[in-house]
Amino acid sequence: MARFMEEQGIPFSRKLPLGFTFSFPCQQEGLTRDFSAKLIRWTKGFKASGCEGVDVCKMLKDACNRRSESYTIPLVQDIEIDVVALLNDTVGTLMACAFKENTCQASPIGVDVEDSFFISDSDDVSQWKSIILFQMIMNTEWGAFGDDGALRFIHTKYDREVDKSSVNPGKQIFEKMISGMYLGELARVALKEMAQQGLLFGGQTGLLEERGRFSTRFMSDIGSDQDLYSDLAGDEEKKTFQNTEKILGELGFNKITRADCANVAYVCNIITTRAAHLLAAGIATLINRVERPLVTVGIDGSVYRFHPVFPQLLDDKIAELIDENLRYKLMLSEDGSGIGAAVVAAVANRIQSDRTDQKEEEPQQENQNEND
């Protein structure tokens, strides 16, 4: 941040108004300038001791204050920050898209960080109805959907194995079924079992034995092979498996048959399709809930951006699930969380400045009235 200020010519003589994107569940007790947001728990595979239950804004400020000459990177002048907005990354995506398109009413950040927000009328927020004039953003935290067992009916043994080996077993169940962080691991677990049963690679498991070795990126590359999704049951001789063969070679498999490639592609297809359909179910629910004639849904995430068919799978299923009188469109928001945080910070800082100016003008106006 200090280098950014130096490069942009921002004076160090004043505090830097900051929009802070923090992509983890927090307990936020106020919306004043002195933010307090305590980390509830780590998600998305992150884990660090001494942070849960601690104010994340204070930790950031303390980190800025700890800058010293002993730091390994050459320092520029010290900075002071003023956290004027704390956002989840999904709120950031929503605000970034709403800045470009005012019909944006919902934002599941996609398939890297599983959470969602939508804009609700004040009448739907009974607890705060008396103080909310128009609308507010609702955080669903749907990554935790299923933690109570509600998704047990579609939770497979592969899901359970991935969950068990995660840093937060039993938590963020829905996230682990649709997030790009976990899709590759789901595929690895399924493919390893098939190999162990002699259904793949002549019974050899290769590097599939190692957790995390089958990247979600592999699924996007495999999905790029010709006709993989359009006609898996068709003429095998017309299909090419160039990407699939290359990936399997990297995993230690030297003797690969076309049947192996087709089966691996099929497994990846099934997992990708399920993730797209589950995400679509959540998005469709939000669209139906918002009840606007046209809803723009802001999405970010590497799977949505790079997988060749995931966007189409998602789009088709949403169209199938929403009410027939509603329309929607999906908007890709690259680096949406950062841009959205900047937008919110700019607005919050402008509002605060206007209030300060108004307070300064009030005594002058009173004096003028007395003189008159």
Q: Is residue 44 annotated as a catalytic residue, yes or no?
A: yes
Given the DSSP bridges, would you call strands 294-299 and 104-108 parallel, antiparallel or unpaired?
A: parallel
Which CATH number is associated with domain 1-87+337-372?
Answer: 3.30.420.40
C-alpha to C-alpha distance for 94 and 341, rounded to whole angstroms: 10
C-alpha to C-alpha distance for 145 and 172, rounded to whole angstroms: 7
Contacts of 300 (CB under 8 A, 6+ apart): 89, 93, 109, 110, 112, 332, 333, 334, 335, 336, 337
**Bridge partners for 153 per DSSP:** none
Q: Measuring CA to CA, how many Å separate 183 from each of 147, 155, 178, 306?
A: 18, 14, 7, 14
**Interval 165-222: pLDDT, tens:** 998 899 999 999 999 999 999 999 999 999 999 999 999 999 999 999 999 999 999 9
Fold match flag (1-87+337-372 vs 152-276):
no
Query: With 70 as the cut, is the pLDDT of residue 40 above it?
Result: yes
CB of 259 within 8 A of CB of 296? no
**Bridge partners for 27 per DSSP:** 38
- Among 44, 176, 192, 239, the one annotated catalytic: 44
Q: Which two tokens stand for residue 343?
A: 């937008």
Query: With 70 as the cut, is the pLDDT of residue 236 above it?
Result: no
- Among 55, 89, 225, 300, the one annotated catalytic: 89
Nearest-CA neighbor of 91 among 139, 131, 50? 139
Q: Which of 96-100, 286-290, 356-360 has the highest mean pLDDT?
A: 286-290
Maximal CA-CA distance, the chain:
97
Nearest-CA neighbor of 304 among 188, 186, 220, 184? 220
**Interval 59-73: pLDDT, tens:** 888 888 776 444 545
Q: Is residue 89 annotated as a catalytic residue, yes or no?
A: yes
Question: What φ, ψ does residue 265 adopt, rounded to 5°?
Answer: -60, -40
pLDDT band at 116 (very low <50, low <70, confident <90, very high): low
CB of 216 within 8 A of CB of 180? yes
Query: With 70 as the cut, is the pLDDT of residue 339 above it?
Result: yes
User: What average pLDDT score do residues 117-125 get?
Assistant: 51
Contacts of 175 (CB under 8 A, 6+ apart): 43, 44, 114, 115, 143, 144, 181, 182
Q: Which two tokens stand for residue 361?
A: 């003008």
Listing DSSP states for 295-349 in one string gives EEEEEB-HHHHH-SSHHHHHHHHHHHHS-TT-EEEEEE-TTHHHHHHHHHHHHHH
Sign of CA dihedral 232, 236, 242, 245: positive
Q: What are the domain boundaries of the chain?
A: 1-87+337-372, 152-276
Q: Which two tokens stand for residue 241?
A: 């498996």
C-alpha to C-alpha distance for 310 and 7, rounded to whole angstroms: 39
Which CATH number is associated with domain 152-276?
Answer: 3.40.367.20
C-alpha to C-alpha distance for 339 and 193, rounded to whole angstroms: 43
